[in-house]
């Protein structure tokens, strides 16, 4: 079938809109939740999170931990852990070897 012929079946509406409406109606009929919307790349959404900032330092995230984030966590570990605990997130345990390495806490431990 030609694209023009297919599009003409939608009459006065855009075929993409017709198809999306049909998918939504079928999901509702089956009792399935709507598919979650994903933010589009390049615009809108929350934007990049600055994990070196006081509001987000130490939060779990994918990607590498910058020197700025490590430095902030080292200098404000108690404050960061209070904020993380308040948000229900895991805290940074200076006794955990993985955490010590991840945030550069090795320098702070003196035996």
Comparing 107 with 74, the larger pLDDT belongs to: 74
C-alpha 72 chain-centroid distance = 21
Provide the pLDDT confidence category of residue 11 given band limits of 50, 70 and 90. Answer: confident
Question: How many CB atoms are closer than 10 A to CB 80?
Answer: 22
Residue 4 CA to residue 21 CA, distance in Å, equals 20
Write the pLDDT tens digit of every residue in 57-96. 999 998 889 999 999 999 999 999 999 999 999 999 999 9
The pLDDT value recorded for residue 46 is 62
Q: For 5-71, give the DSSP string.
A: HHHHTTTTS-HHHHHHHHHHHHHHHHTPPPPPPPPPTTSSSS----TTSTTTTT---SSPPPHHHHH
Residue 58 CA to residue 109 CA, distance in Å, equals 18
Write the pLDDT tens digit of every residue in 19-47. 888 888 888 888 766 666 666 555 555 67
Contacting residues for 100 by C-beta, under 8 A, at least 6 apart: 94, 106, 109
Provide the pLDDT confidence category of residue 10 given band limits of 50, 70 and 90. Answer: confident
Measured CA angle at 103 (ends 84, 90), to 5 deg: 25
Instruction: Give the pTM.
Output: 0.55
Tell me the mean pLDDT in the region 11-16. Answer: 76
């Amino acid at each position: 079938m030609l694209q023009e012929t297919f599009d003409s079946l939608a009459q006065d509406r855009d075929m993409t809109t017709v198809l999306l409406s049909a998918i939504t109606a079928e999901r509702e009929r089956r009792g399935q939740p709507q598919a979650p919307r994903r933010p589009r790349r390049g615009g809108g959404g929350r934007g990049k999170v600055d994990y070196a900032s006081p509001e987000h330092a130490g939060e779990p995230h994918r990607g590498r931990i910058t020197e700025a984030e490590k430095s902030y966590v080292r200098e404000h570990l108690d404050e960061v852990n209070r904020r993380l605990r308040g948000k229900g997130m895991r805290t940074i345990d200076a006794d955990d070897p993985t955490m010590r390495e991840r945030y550069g806490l090795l320098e702070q431990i003196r035996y």
